[in-house]
Amino acid sequence: MENVKDIVLDYVKQEYLEDGDDREIKYDTALITGGFVDSFSMVSLKVFLETKYNISIPDDKATPEAFDSVNNIVDLLKGFGVN
């Protein structure tokens, strides 16, 4: 079964890379400060995580830092019991 890290990574690639964008995204790639995800479109990532794992991430936890890499997101999810 695919682990959480790979599920999040696959989603990020599919959701935020345009067709023909061959930039590489890894587990530790900076998503927001690296220019892949902006603070506005970050809401889609939150919607995905909440829907996929049936959780509710409060605004004070859904910070640009918490969403800035797949590793950070996985750490955030651990706080909601998602491993």
Partner 1 sequence: MSYPQDIRSIYGTQLDELRKQGIFKEERAIFSPQNADIEVEFPIGSAQKKEINMCANNYLGLSSHPDVIKAAHEGLDSRGYGMSSVRFICGTQDIHKTLEHRLTEFLGTEDTILFPSCMDANAGVFEAVLTEQDVMIADRLVHASIVDGMRLCKAHQDTYKHSDMAHLEDKLKLHQDKRVRLIITDGSFSMDGDLAKLDKIVELAEKYNAMVFVDDSHASGFIGKTGRGTHEHCGVVGKIDIITTTLGKALGGASGGCVSGRKEIVEMCRQKGRPYLFSNTVAPVVVSGALAVLDIISKTTERRDKLERNTAFWRKGLTEAGLIIKDGETPIVPVMLFNAKLSQDFAKTLYDDGIYAVGFFFPVVPKGQARIRTQLSAGHEIHHLEKALAAFTNAGKKFGILGKTKQEIIDMYGM
Contact with partner 1 (CB under 8 A): which of 1, 2, 18, 20? 18
Measured in whole angstroms, the distance separating CA 5 from the mean position of its chain's CA atoms is: 9
Judged by beta carbon, residue 38 or residue 75, the one nearer partner 1 is 38
CB-CB neighbours of 46 under 10 Å: 17
Judged by beta carbon, residue 3 or residue 44, the one nearer partner 1 is 44
Q: What is the DSSP letter of 2?
A: -
Residue ranges that bind partner 1, judged by CB under 8 A: 15, 18, 35, 38, 40-41, 43-44, 47, 51
